[in-house]
Amino acid sequence: MKKSRLLFLGPPGAGKGTQAERICGSAGLLHLSTGDLLRAEVAAETDLGKSAAAVMQKGELVSDELVLAIVESSLVKTSKGWILDGFPRTVSQAISLEKLLEKLNQQIEAVISLELNDDLLLERLLLRGRSDDNEDVIRHRIEVYKNKTAPLIDHYNKQDLLKSVQADGTIDAITDRIESILS
């Protein structure tokens, strides 16, 4: 059976969102992007959005409490498989996720780690031009990734869940690489 409970891990600009969207579309999975959900809260000017906005604009991580609340409420509501995109971002978030999944009687089936060098990340993000995509903030987000998120590679490798994917080349080529790992 195809794997249907997945994490997409990778630095900003590696293409997690694009690839998660495509894989979810073809496999009927829920695409849960904490970045997208946080941006929606900011746009709707909710209390949660107001407390997250300045942190996001600086390229820092929003508090575990806020993101966990978002993830929990989405996972509790769905009976479908899912791709978590941009969560967990720290080992402590990973441990919280493990506890939540235990409660829901679910398990992560694979962690897709998208890998790309810093020059290409920067190039892609400058082209994307989101409001937190100016060069200084991008460099900071890449640093935050290396310091806080990259330790998850080892964390999931130890659990034998990690699948590394080279995230260069065309969007189709990368989707093919991911699909072949999941089938």
Q: Which of 160, 37, 21 is nearest to 83 (CA)?
A: 21
Rule CB under 6 A: say whether 83 interacts with ligand AMP. no
For residue 137, CA distances in Å to 21, 63, 122, 131 come to 25, 18, 10, 10
Rule CB under 6 A: say whether 87 interacts with ligand AMP. yes
Question: What's the order of all strands across the beta sheet hosting 30-33?
Answer: 30-33, 82-85, 5-9, 110-115, 162-166
Q: How many residues appear in the chain?
A: 183
Select the residue interacting with ligand AMP from 32, 67, 75, 178 (CB under 6 A).
67
Select the residue interacting with ligand AMP from 27, 55, 100, 181 (CB under 6 A).
55
Rule CB under 6 A: say whether 12 interacts with ligand AMP. yes
DSSP element (H, E) containing 9? strand 5-9
Nearer to ligand AMP, 23 or 38 (CB): 38
The HSE-up count of residue 102 (CA atoms within 13 Å, CB side) is: 6
Select the residue interacting with ligand AMP from 48, 62, 112, 174 (CB under 6 A).
62
Nearer to ligand AMP, 87 or 156 (CB): 87
Rule CB under 6 A: say whether 82 interacts with ligand AMP. no
The residue with its CB nearest to ligand AMP is 35
Rule CB under 6 A: say whether 59 interacts with ligand AMP. yes
